A and B are shown apart, each in its own frame.
Chain A
Amino acid sequence: MLVVDGLQAWYGESQVLHGVTLEVGDGRVVTLVGRNGMGKTTALRCIMGIHRQKRGRILLDGREIGHLPPQQIARMGIGWVQDDRGIYGTLSVLENLLLPPVVSDESWSLDKIFSVFPVLKDQAAQSGSKLSGGEQQMLAIARVLRMGARILLLDEPTEGLAPLLVERVREIVKEIKSHGLTVLLVEQNLRFATTVADTHHLIVNGRTVRSLSNQEVVREERELLEYLGV
């Protein structure tokens, strides 16, 4: 279980997170939903140990991990899929998959990866930069599954994708969940979020203001959309 408690973060003098609190239970899909610039990406970067100007608690299975460097956090089974997908153009698709070390028994074999993401098999020898946006998203997710992530941090995986591909990302998130893995999904798209997640955390101006079950979000969708301004 991943718990973030009272997380604050700064860029130089300016504070952008004022108290992010969320709980991601094992095997669940949990979202952090909020508008542009509310601090979603920053929160993920704090969890990954990349952003260091922070205060507050980050616990993985009860253990404080806030002070650890990114490579150790990844090795504990947290897989980061960054907002621009972070596909290496100087590496082939296959190399992109093989770059992270295998960190747990949960690691997906290449066979399994290729059966779930057949496009990656067809393009394995291509440079990562040759892939389309949707394919890069698949690769970024597949890469941390290969690593053996137990918890995936997905930063707006549907951003800029055509409806058909959004559908595909939805299937993949469900597939990940069906394997017992855990997902923390950052989204602006509340509609998409409600089709895959169990619980939601709303973030406004760097503060998580409400935590809701999926039913509650579906029920209050109108007001919430207005509230979030998304």
Chain B
Amino acid sequence: MEIVLVQVFNGLISGAFYALLSLGLAVIFGMLRVVNFMHGALYMLGAFGAYLLGVQLGVSFWWALIISPLAVAAVGFLLERALLRRLYDLNVLYNLLLTFGLTLVIQDAMRLRFGVQGVPYSIPAQLRGAVLIGFMFFPTYRLFVLGFSVLVCLGVWWLIEHTRVGMIIRASTENPVLTRALGVDVDRWIPLVFAFGVALAGLAGVLAAPMRNVSPLMGADLIITTFAIVVIGGMGSILGSVVTGFFVGVLSALGAVYYPPAANTLVFIVMAIVLLFRPSGLFGSPEAG
């Protein structure tokens, strides 16, 4: 019983990262119809951002939590303006290929500079140790990651449901052609939404820095599972990506206990089953996409 609880907790922690990453992917896909393969690489840049800020400038984790995602957003903004936007009129595969290529470039550039081993990043002093909840101790930092990412997801959800930008994002996700024909300047929001989506990846990267090895390939494995999550949740569905993110985190963690060989495959089995019965994903609508 205890092991199950521990694994559910660990699953929620992985889920927190999946949720932040797939949320960004979903927002980007909805608005731009771009499958952003770079997402994992930008997550990695977010983690390195925190590391470099700390080592070079003595910036604390807390400031890094703000600055590094903004820096990643700036990188995303520039890449969108310089490259991605040129391919919107073509098949979506072109931007998938472009972002895949950029991923390789970013990862290799980081590998040349920092090697494959990775660099250490320590847990901020305020969040060391463990907290007793009920009958078990939980690492404070992990509790923080969980709580913080839930808050961020709720915040993003609020933005999307209750602001004008959010309304434009929802409308463009559902029907981009009509939204333009109703006079909405969708194109003005595209680079900003892209920057926002990748900032979430950067944020996840900073959160990961103290508990996962900060290395050039840290985003590479994660991104594949994250894509599966976005597909299960329904491409472009905000709620779907978050809920599925946490769900898959827990599922993989439990799988690791009960049937370890399948732990990593489980998500793809779920994806296949969901696609059989609901091709547009659990929370997706058939029209969008």
Contact = CB atoms under 8 A, between A and B. Distances in A.
Most central of A49, A90, A101, A103 by chain B CB within 10 Å:
A90
Contact of A90 (B173, B181, B187): B173
Given A71-B186, A86-B175, A90-B174, A99 B180 contact: no
Interface stretch (A54-62, A74-82, A189-197): A74-82
Interface residues of B, number: 20
A147 B182 CA distance: 8
A144 interface: yes
Contacts of A103: 183
B181 A50 contact: yes
Nearest to B188: A71
Nearest to B160: A90
A143 B173 CA distance: 19
Most central of A48, A50, A70 by chain B CB within 10 Å:
A70
A90 B180 contact: no
Contacts of B178: 80, 82, 86
A95 interface: yes
A98 B181 contact: no
Interface stretch (B57-65, B126-134, B164-172, B240-248): B164-172
A91 interface: yes
A100 B184 contact: yes
Contacts of B181: 48-50, 70-71, 73-74, 80, 82
Contacts of B180: 50, 69-71, 74
Interface string B20-40: 000000000000000000000
Interface in A145-188: 147
A89 interface: yes
Contacts of A75: 183
A227 interface: no
Contacts of B184: 71, 99-101
A117 to B, nearest CB: 17
Contacts, number: 64
A11 interface: no
A216 to B, nearest CB: 33
Contacts of A71: 180-181, 183-187
B285 interface: yes
Nearest to A74: B183
B177 interface: yes
B171 A88 contact: yes
B213 interface: no
A90 B183 contact: no
A85 to B, nearest CB: 10
Nearest to A76: B183
A99 B177 contact: no
Nearest to A75: B183
Interface in B172-205: 173-175, 177-187
Contacts of B171: 88, 90-91, 99
Interface string A119-141: 00000000000000000000000
A50 B180 CA distance: 9
A98 B164 CA distance: 9
Contact of A88 (B174, B177, B187): B174
B282 to A, nearest CB: 16
Given A89-B285, A91-B167, A99 B173 contact: no
Contacts of A91: 167, 170-171, 174
A200 B22 CA distance: 52
Nearest to A82: B178
Contacts of A98: 167
Interface in A83-121: 86, 88-91, 95, 98-101, 103
Contact of B183 (A86, A88, A89, A101): A101
Contact of A74 (B167, B174, B175, B182): B182
B175 A95 contact: no
A50 B181 CA distance: 7
Interface of A: 48-50, 69-71, 73-75, 80, 82, 86, 88-91, 95, 98-101, 103, 143-144, 147
17 contacts: A50-B177, A50-B180, A71-B186, A74-B182, A75-B183, A86-B175, A86-B178, A88-B170, A88-B175, A89-B174, A89-B285, A90-B174, A91-B170, A91-B174, A98-B167, A99-B171, A144-B182
- Give me the 6 closest cross-chain CB pairs, A-B, nearest first: A74-B183, A100-B182, A70-B181, A70-B180, A90-B170, A86-B178
